[in-house]
């Protein structure tokens, strides 16, 4: 039987020495999870779509500026023009990997840029090294500051050549372009660090809120167990059958509470001043049974909400019930805040024997990517709730328009 082992495990985790050890281990795991989720070491790798957009933009600039200069300057050196064009194309192609290997791309573009300038001196050194300056910006944005400082120093080495070719103005323009490229990368790096800190804070806040809610569920279950135990003691002699019913209810409640405690131990610990909330009257616990109330509140804003249920949600583990409700709530909130032109939302809750699936689809047209703070936090909250119960989540725009959120929450994880 699993109950004694589970009680022993919880007792050990609550002891002084065991609790301290668990806190240290959990703290390390949490730190690693946050670093993995948000790139804590600062070596961010762009998504394939972002990398392609970056390549098209930077490559287009190099072809438009440097390519035009090479064609104009090569009109007087037709024999050198084909090689110069090949070098320009090489620089443009190398920019394809600037998000993954910025240092290598910088080295290639610096060497080919100097070769272009040597073939066609009429092209300014600043223009010939335009692709290298873009590579320096990528290095500054993605690599540690010490590495980017070395790259900046290396890019300043050709400064005497700029002075020899263009004098003081040529030197000033070259140094200014290099420094601006490095500074732009530092600005982008700082911006990403702020975004990571914002997402990290949102995760911590969401996990703390989840922990509070699971705590409330467990406290309710244990209170019922105490009442049932008292009732069983009162009628144990005169009405043994009624006492057995109370004991069976205690067993069921204990199993449910153990499941909730497992979830609680996996979430972040939280600290809160009990005196600050002790006198407040709490609202009824949210659950899938209250979806009609939630839908009515959204309908009051003028949006049509179509609510569909398949299967029964009675008897679900409290953590799964609460997570499903909150996911629907957050998806509807995102529709209200970020779906421009949305006038209809479909909510479908399907309860099977082993899982509960929630699907929310709207017909809005706005994009809800990571750049939106509100949408980003909403998706973070959904992901954390799904992760807590061991489920899966898909959220994204639909090809024909609209936005879809699909969550699958396994029931056996907390039963």
Residue 407 pLDDT level (bands cut at 50, 70, 90): very high
Q: Could you give the C-alpha distances from 352 to 309, 348, 356, 388, 412, in angstroms and in order?
A: 11, 13, 6, 20, 11
Provide the b/e sequence for 48-65 (b: ≥16 CB within 10 Å).
eeebeebbeebbebbbee
Report phi then psi at 122, rounded to 5: -65, -20
Interatomic CA distance for residues 60 and 54, integer angstroms: 10
Exposure string for 383-399, b = 16+ CB within 10 A, e = fewer: bbbbbbbebebebeeee
Task: State the DSSP string of 40-67.
Answer: TTS-----HHHHHHHHHHHHHHHIIIII
Q: Identify the band that residue 294 occupies on the pLDDT scale cut at 50, 70 and 90.
A: confident
| pLDDT in the model for residue 358 | 94
**Nearest residue to 196 via CA among 40, 29, 373, 379:** 40
**Mean pLDDT of the 60-87 span:** 88
Average pLDDT taken over every residue of the chain: 76
Residues 332-380: tens digit of each pLDDT: 888 877 777 788 999 999 988 788 999 999 988 755 443 333 344 567 7
Least confident of 20-24, 155-159, 244-248, 380-384: 20-24
What pLDDT shows up at residue 218? Answer: 67
Q: Is the C-alpha dihedral spanning 324, 325, 330, 336 positive or negative?
A: positive
Least confident of 25-29, 81-85, 150-154, 247-251: 25-29
The Cα 347–Cα 380 span in angstroms is 20
Task: Check residue 401 and give left, alpha or beta (phi > 0: left; psi -120 to 50: alpha).
Answer: left
Quick one: pLDDT at residue 48?
77
What Cα–Cα distance (Å) separates residue 109 from each residue in 94, 128, 132, 135, 156?
7, 9, 5, 8, 14
Tokens of 177: 């372009």
| Cα–Cα distance for residue pair 88/109, rounded to 1 Å | 9
Banded model confidence at residue 11, pLDDT cuts 50, 70, 90: very low
Q: What per-residue confidence (pLDDT) applies to 224?
A: 65
CB 413 within 8 A of CB 373: no
State the CB neighbour count (10 A cutoff) for residue 180: 13
Q: What is the pLDDT at residue 1?
A: 34
Size (the chain), residues: 415
Coil/strand/helix, residue 307? strand
Contact 294, 325 (CB under 8 A): yes
Angle between helices 318-338 and 240-266 (to 10 degrees): 50
Task: Give residue 249's pLDDT band: very low, low, confident or very high (50, 70, 90).
Answer: confident
Output the pLDDT for position 122.
Answer: 87
More reliable by pLDDT, 300 or 41? 300
Q: Which two tokens stand for residue 232?
A: 């069983």
Question: Cβ(96)–Cβ(62) under 8 Å?
Answer: no
pLDDT digits (tens, 9 = 90+) for 274-286: 444 444 444 556 7
Query: Residue 308 forms beta bridges with which residues?
Result: 348
Q: What residues contact 343, with CB distance under 8 A and at least 6 apart? A: 302, 303, 304, 363
CA nearest to 158, candidates 181, 126, 112? 126
pLDDT at 198: 85
Residue % of the chain over a pLDDT of 70: 74
302 phi-psi bin (left φ>0, alpha ψ -120 to 50, beta other): left
Q: Cα–Cα distances in Å, from 373 out to 109, 191, 194, 195, 370?
A: 36, 14, 12, 9, 7
Residues 118/56/188/181 CA torsion (nearest 10 deg):
20
pLDDT at 302: 76
- Is residue 180 within 8 Å of 131, Cβ to Cβ? no
- Percent of residues, the chain, with pLDDT higher than 90: 19
DSSP notation for 190-247: HHHHHHHHHHHHHHHHHHHHHHHHHHHHHHHHHHHHHHHHHHHHHHTTT-HHHHHHHH
For residues 178 and 365, the model is more confident at 178
Mean pLDDT of 162-187: 89
Backbone angles phi, psi at 98, to 5 degrees: -65, -25
Nearest to 164 by CA among 214, 124, 198, 106: 124
């Amino acid at each position: 039987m699993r109950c004694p082992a589970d009680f022993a495990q919880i007792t050990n985790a609550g002891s002084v020495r065991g609790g301290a050890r668990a806190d240290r281990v959990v703290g390390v795991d949490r730190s690693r999870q946050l670093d993995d989720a948000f790139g804590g070491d600062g070596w961010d790798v762009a998504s394939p779509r972002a990398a392609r957009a970056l390549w098209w933009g930077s490559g287009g600039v190099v072809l438009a500026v440097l390519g035009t200069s090479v064609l104009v300057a090569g009109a007087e050196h037709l024999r050198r023009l084909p090689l110069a064009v090949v070098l320009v194309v090489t620089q443009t192609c190398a920019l394809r990997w600037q998000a993954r290997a910025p240092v290598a791309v910088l080295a290639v573009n610096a060497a080919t840029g100097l070769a272009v300038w040597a073939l066609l001196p009429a092209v300014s050194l600043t223009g010939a090294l335009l692709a290298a300056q873009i590579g320096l910006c990528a290095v500054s944005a993605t690599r540690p500051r010490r590495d980017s400082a070395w790259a900046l120093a290396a890019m300043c080495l050709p400064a005497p050549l700029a002075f020899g070719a263009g004098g003081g103005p040529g030197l000033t323009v070259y140094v200014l372009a290099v420094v601006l490229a490095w500074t732009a990368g530092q600005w982008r790096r700082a911006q990403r660090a702020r975004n990571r800190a914002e997402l990290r804070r949102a995760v911590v806040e969401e996990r703390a809120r989840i922990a509070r809610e699971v705590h409330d569920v467990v406290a309710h279950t244990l209170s019922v167990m105490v009442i049932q135990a008292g009732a069983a003691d009162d009628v144990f002699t005169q009405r043994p059958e009624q006492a057995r019913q109370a004991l069976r209810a205690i067993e069921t409640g204990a199993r449910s509470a153990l499941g909730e405690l497992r979830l609680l131990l996996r979430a972040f610990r939280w600290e809160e001043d009990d005196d600050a909330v002790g006198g407040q009257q709490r609202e009824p616990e949210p659950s899938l049974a209250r979806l009609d109330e939630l839908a009515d509140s959204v309908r009051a804003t003028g949006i049509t909400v179509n609510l569909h249920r398949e299967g029964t949600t009675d008897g679900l583990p409290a953590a799964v019930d609460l997570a499903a409700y909150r996911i629907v709530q957050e998806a509807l909130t995102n529709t209200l805040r970020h779906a421009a032109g949305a006038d209809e939302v479909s909510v479908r809750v399907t309860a099977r024997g082993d899982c509960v699936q929630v699907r929310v689809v709207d017909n809005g047209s706005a994009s809800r990517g990571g750049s939106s703070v509100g949408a980003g936090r909403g998706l973070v909250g959904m992901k954390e709730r799904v992760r807590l119960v061991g489920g899966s989540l898909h959220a994204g725009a639909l090809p024909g328009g609209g936005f879809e959120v699909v969550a699958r929450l396994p029931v056996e994880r907390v039963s």
